[in-house]
């Protein structure tokens, strides 16, 4: 070994004196000798942990490597450069590099202020690494100049070896702050030089790889090397993400470019999920940086500052990552099965942190627009590229996906964007989103998923948040509430829906209407009414008949009946006149069983002659049913049907009250008096059905207030005062307030004024002092109406029991309002309410499940089928047979028809026998 070193030194001194021509002639003889002297295996391994002894060896080896690269490499042909040079030199260079990095990392931890020798040694090693990077850059640069296209098989060893050193150098630079700690300033200049030289080496290598070609018929190892290159570059991206944004972006750009360039060869071997994950992480990190910068600048008056320039650069970085992700997704969509969940989550994370989400940072409108135009617009093409990809559909619509509360609003936006895109897609793609699946994939239809997510957005709907409405030109026209925005897009989607998907839409709308979220229920009703108007008159009639049949079939008093009743009430207004006549014929108001249907309807929807007929029949049937119920012994047992009768009478009063004669009003008051006589206050406070009956009675008396005698009025007010002491539900209090508001029209005889007015003032005083904002607001409205109409003005001061109540009434009359709530405070309150509503919904669902197990469903009283029902069934059967007859005239029947007709014949014979 001692003899080899002088020989190597002698050779180096000799070679340094050669010119280029002599180097070319001496290449065959000198190259092997220099490669031997560069070998690390024998000279360095024995002293692996003796850093001070290795310093001179490392400097010598860098000197040898530099001579090889600068004096002999230029004289080797490209076809021989791998075998003659790279395969022999680069492995030794990698060993040298690894040893240097190992020693630098391990010895840096021992640095102290007193150890000057270690300080100088570390600086020497850093310089050696910088020199190594310089020499390697010269090698790569030389290959770039050899020809325009470089076959990969000619430089096999170069990319992987150089990338290994680049990657670990960047990692070392990233960790240098923790490695050197308080001594970092002593090495900052060399670390900066090292970073710059490595940056230059990577840039040169990327230029070379862009020139590199991989023959489609090449050996498998060429493909494997290119795959390894891309995966190593991916690791470099991770290492430099927080070091230099420009380098980070350029490295990703190179990775995407190489992946698509060699797509046909490497597509089956790439770690697609890791690449997509890296891009998604880059997007989220840079996007979060944008929001933080925008939030910090929101108080700034001018945008000409350093922060704003950083903000602009960060927006551009977001845009770059978005464009890269879209491009990669389009190129490799079939290979992204494992990435669909992350793509979905990335989309949700972005839109959950961007206004108008309740969980977004508060930033100025100018910065919001800049982010939207610079970044979000670039991300928009991602969704269309995934629209036809089944695994992505499964990720978005999966029943099993449990989104955190802050992501539901973003999920709604995603689903609405899908709805906007689907009409231009083929039928099979539309079916993929609209039909759902109940088998292995277990996904729900698109509209069901939308309604489900909207139920979790009560805060956004109530605040409300605003979204831009787009004009036909694609420009934003103005902002609309979330409810309005969803309604517009959902109705537009309905117009493009295939006929085969309508049953699924109708089912989803029906399930939503009978759900537990009132705002979403109203939205589903709006969409259903749009569907009724958009479709044919026959479709509207069919829906109305179906809903009416459902109402009649539901258990009386069930909460879902009232929701279906609201829908039917709206549909009746949209029906054609001839269909309204048919509706009256199918559900005659004079029949007791149809009172449960008519109690929900407004007679104003009917034509004048039909309205008068229905009002007369409905009043007669309702009054007869009510009187029968009031005179029965099982008053509480038959209470649901009594409520149906009272509600039907109330419907007549509210929508056709002008047609009632004095005798009819007197009959109503008499029936109300009968109910008043048998009502027990304690029972009312405990039984919801009895509460409904009492509320109906208050509303009926409100419409016939002029017919109410003083003694009965005292009884009503006494009952109301007693109920008030038992803290009844809000709907009872609202019914009381409606009744009190009508009292202004009534003149009270002097002999009973004291009793009536004292009770009246107590009621108003208590209700005006209510802590419930709903009751308090209605109490103000009722009191003001009473005060404006009453002739008993002396009572007004008695109703205002405190100065606080007086000031609230004065404020209400002057249309004043309290201090406006700050936007941030309002958003926080809505977030809290979202959580509260979610908790209540979970509790209510669990309670309903327990009740369904422990209790049987309430049963309705059975009635014999009416003659009209028989007529309807027979007409339907006759119509079906007439259709079959018409088909037989147009062509030959199928073979199975004869057997089916024989079966029908047997059924008809059986039915005929049962009528005898």
Across the range 234-263, mean pLDDT stands at 93
Count of C-beta atoms within a 10 Å radius of residue 33: 14
pLDDT attached to residue 361? 85
Whether 827 shows a pLDDT value over 80: the answer reads no
| Higher-scoring residue by pLDDT: 171, 826 | 171
pTM of the predicted protein model: 0.82
pLDDT attached to residue 587? 96
Whether 481 shows a pLDDT value over 90: the answer reads yes
Across the range 700-718, mean pLDDT stands at 90
pLDDT attached to residue 222? 84
Q: Quote the CA–CA distance of 824 and 840 in Å, as a whole number.
A: 24
pLDDT bin (cut points 50, 70, 90) of residue 913 is confident
Q: Are 508 and 445 in contact (CB under 8 A)?
A: yes
Lowest average pLDDT, out of 3-17, 714-728, 736-750, goes to 3-17
Q: Are 123 and 190 in contact (CB under 8 A)?
A: yes
Max mean pLDDT range (463-477, 562-576, 630-644): 562-576
pLDDT attached to residue 860? 38
Across the range 332-355, mean pLDDT stands at 96
Pairing of strands 476-481, 466-470: antiparallel
User: Which element (helix H / strand E) includes 676?
Assistant: helix 662-678
User: Which element (helix H / strand E) includes 478?
Assistant: strand 476-481
pLDDT attached to residue 694? 92
Tokens representing residue 105 in the block: 């990392």
For the chain, what is the total number of helices (H) and then of strands (E)?
43, 4
Q: Apex CA 259: angle with CA 254 and CA 263, to 5°?
A: 150
Which residue, among 59, 68, 121, 50, has the nearest Cα to 96 in the 3D structure? 59
Q: Quote the CA–CA distance of 728 and 208 in Å, as a whole number.
A: 82
pLDDT attached to residue 813? 84
Q: Which residues contact 828 (CB under 8 A, 6 or more apart)?
A: none
Q: Quote the CA–CA distance of 221 and 271 in Å, as a whole number.
A: 17
pLDDT bin (cut points 50, 70, 90) of residue 401 is confident
pLDDT bin (cut points 50, 70, 90) of residue 10 is low
Got the DSSP string for 389-451?
A: -HHHHHHHHBTT----GGGHHHHHHHHHHHHHHGGGS-HHHHHHHHS-BSSSS-B--HHHHHH
Lowest average pLDDT, out of 384-393, 636-645, 797-806, 855-864, goes to 855-864
Whether 82 shows a pLDDT value over 80: the answer reads yes
Q: Give me the helix-helix angle, 245-261 and 188-211, nearest 10°.
A: 20
pLDDT attached to residue 24? 72
pLDDT attached to residue 41? 37
Across the range 408-429, mean pLDDT stands at 95
Across the range 447-468, mean pLDDT stands at 90
Whether 407 shows a pLDDT value over 70: the answer reads yes
pLDDT attached to residue 56? 52
Backbone angles phi, psi at 355, to 5 degrees: -55, 145
Token pair 């109490």 is at which residue?
A: 779
Whether 469 shows a pLDDT value over 90: the answer reads no
Across the range 325-335, mean pLDDT stands at 96
pLDDT attached to residue 368? 92
| Higher-scoring residue by pLDDT: 878, 272 | 272
Whether 252 shows a pLDDT value over 80: the answer reads yes
Return the bridge partners of 143, or none: none
Q: What is the average pLDDT value for the chain, to the nearest integer?
A: 85
pLDDT per position as a tens digit, 12-39: 666 666 777 777 767 776 767 666 666 5
Whether 60 shows a pLDDT value over 80: the answer reads no
pLDDT per position as a tens digit, 564-591: 999 999 999 999 999 999 999 999 999 9
Whether 861 shows a pLDDT value over 70: the answer reads no
Whether 441 shows a pLDDT value over 70: the answer reads no
Q: Quote the CA–CA distance of 530 and 527 in Å, as a whole number.
A: 5
Across the range 104-126, mean pLDDT stands at 87
Across the range 698-724, mean pLDDT stands at 90
pLDDT bin (cut points 50, 70, 90) of residue 901 is confident
Burial (CB count <10 Å: 0-12, 13-18, 19+), residue 174:
middle
pLDDT attached to residue 905? 81
Q: Are 443 and 431 in contact (CB under 8 A)?
A: no
Whether 45 shows a pLDDT value over 50: the answer reads no
Burial (CB count <10 Å: 0-12, 13-18, 19+), residue 146:
middle
pLDDT bin (cut points 50, 70, 90) of residue 856 is very low
| Higher-scoring residue by pLDDT: 859, 208 | 208
| Higher-scoring residue by pLDDT: 271, 690 | 271
Q: Are 782 and 738 in contact (CB under 8 A)?
A: yes
| Higher-scoring residue by pLDDT: 53, 619 | 619
């Amino acid at each position: 070994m001692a003899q080899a070193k002088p020989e190597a030194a002698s050779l180096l001194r000799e070679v340094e004196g050669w010119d280029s021509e002599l180097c070319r002639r001496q290449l065959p003889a000198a190259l092997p000798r220099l490669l031997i002297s560069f070998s690390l295996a024998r000279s360095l391994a024995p002293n692996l942990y003796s850093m001070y002894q290795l310093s001179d060896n490392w400097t010598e080896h860098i000197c040898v490597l530099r001579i090889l690269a600068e004096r002999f490499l230029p004289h080797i042909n490209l076809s021989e450069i791998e075998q003659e040079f790279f395969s022999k030199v680069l492995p030794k260079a990698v060993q040298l590099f690894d040893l240097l990095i190992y020693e630098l990392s391990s010895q840096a931890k021992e640095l102290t202020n007193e150890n000057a020798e270690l300080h100088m040694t570390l600086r020497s090693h850093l310089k050696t690494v910088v020199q190594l990077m310089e020499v390697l850059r010269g090698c790569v640069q030389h290959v770039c100049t050899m020809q325009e296209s470089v076959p990969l098989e000619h430089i096999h060893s170069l990319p992987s070896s150089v990338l290994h050193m680049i990657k670990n150098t960047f990692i070392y630079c990233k960790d240098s702050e923790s490695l050197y700690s308080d001594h970092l300033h002593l090495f900052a200049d060399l670390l900066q030089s090292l970073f710059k030289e490595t940056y230059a080496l990577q840039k040169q290598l990327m230029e070379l790889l862009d020139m590199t070609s991989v023959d489609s018929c090449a050996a498998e190892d060429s493909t494997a090397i290119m795959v390894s290159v891309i995966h190593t570059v991916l690791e470099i991206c991770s290492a430099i993400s927080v070091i230099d944004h420009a380098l980070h972006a350029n490295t990703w750009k190179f990775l995407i470019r190489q992946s698509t360039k060699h797509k046909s060869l490497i597509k089956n071997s790439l770690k697609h999920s890791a690449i997509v994950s890296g891009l998604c992480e880059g997007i989220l990190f840079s996007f979060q940086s944008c929001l933080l910068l925008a939030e910090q600048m929101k108080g700034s008056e001018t945008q000409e500052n350093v922060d704003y320039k950083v903000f602009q650069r960060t927006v551009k970085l977001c845009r770059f990552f978005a464009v890269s992700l879209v491009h990669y997704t389009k190129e490799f969509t079939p290979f992204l099965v494992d990435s669909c969940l992350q793509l979905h989550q990335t989309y949700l994370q972005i839109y959950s942190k961007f206004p108008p989400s309740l969980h977004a940072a508060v930033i100025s409108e100018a910065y919001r627009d800049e982010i939207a135009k610079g970044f979000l617009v670039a991300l928009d093409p991602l969704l269309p590229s995934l629209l036809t990809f089944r695994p992505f559909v499964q990720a978005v619509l999966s029943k099993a996906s449990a989104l955190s509360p802050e992501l539901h609003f973003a999920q709604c936006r995603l689903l609405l964007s899908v709805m906007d895109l689907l009409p231009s897609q083929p039928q099979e793609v539309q079916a993929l989103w609209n039909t759902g699946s109940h088998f292995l994939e277990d996904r729900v239809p698109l509209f069901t998923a939308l309604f489900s997510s909207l139920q979790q957005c009560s805060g956004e709907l109530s605040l409300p948040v605003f979204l831009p409405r787009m004009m036909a030109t694609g420009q934003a026209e103005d902002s609309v509430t979330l409810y309005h925005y969803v309604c517009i897009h959902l109705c537009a989607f309905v117009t493009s829906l295939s006929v085969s998907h309508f049953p699924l839409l109708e089912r989803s709308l029906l399930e939503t209407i009978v759900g537990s979220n009132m705002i979403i229920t109203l939205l589903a009703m709006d969409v259903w009414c749009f569907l009724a108007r958009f479709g044919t008159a026959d479709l509207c009639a069919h829906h109305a008949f179906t809903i009416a049949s459902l109402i009649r079939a539901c258990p009386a008093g069930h909460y879902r009946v009232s929701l279906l009743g609201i829908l039917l009430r709206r549909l009746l207004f949209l029906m054609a006149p001839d269909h309204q006549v048919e509706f009256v014929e199918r559900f005659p108001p004079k029949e007791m069983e149809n009172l449960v249907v008519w109690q929900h309807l407004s007679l104003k929807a009917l034509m004048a002659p039909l309205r008068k007929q229905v009002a007369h029949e409905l009043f007669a049937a309702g009054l007869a049913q009510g009187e029968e119920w009031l005179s029965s012994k099982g008053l509480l047992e038959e209470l649901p049907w009594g409520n149906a009768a009272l509600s039907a009478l109330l419907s007549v009063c509210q929508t056709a009250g002008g047609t009632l004669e004095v005798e009819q009003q007197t009959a109503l008051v008499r029936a109300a008096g009968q109910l008043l006589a048998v009502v027990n206050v304690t029972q009312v406070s405990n039984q919801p059905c009895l509460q409904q009956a009492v509320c109906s009675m208050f509303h009926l008396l409100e419409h016939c207030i002029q017919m109410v005698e003083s003694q009965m009025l005292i009884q009503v007010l006494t009952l109301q005062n007693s109920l008030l002491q038992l803290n009844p539900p809000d709907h009872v209090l609202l019914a009381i307030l409606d009744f009190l508001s009508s009292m202004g029209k009534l003149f009270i005889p002097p002999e009973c004024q004291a009793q009536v007015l004292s009770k009246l003032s107590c009621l108003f005083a208590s209700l005006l002092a209510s802590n419930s904002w709903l009751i308090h607001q209605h109490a103000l409205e009722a009191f003001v109406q009473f005060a404006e109409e009453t002739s008993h003005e002396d009572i007004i001061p008695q109703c205002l029991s405190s100065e606080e109540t007086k000031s609230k009434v004065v404020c209400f009359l002057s249309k004043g309002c309290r201090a406006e709530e700050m936007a941030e405070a309002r958003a926080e309150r809505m977030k809290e309410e979202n959580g509260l509503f979610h908790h209540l919904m979970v509790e209510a669902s669990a309670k309903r499940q327990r009740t369904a197990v422990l209790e049987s469903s309430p049963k309705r009283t059975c009635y014999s089928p009416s003659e009209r029902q028989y007529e309807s069934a027979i007409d339907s059967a006759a119509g079906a047979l007439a259709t079959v007859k018409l088909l037989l005239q147009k062509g030959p029947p199928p073979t199975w028809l004869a057997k089916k007709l024989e079966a029908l014949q047997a059924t008809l014979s059986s039915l005929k026998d049962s009528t005898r």
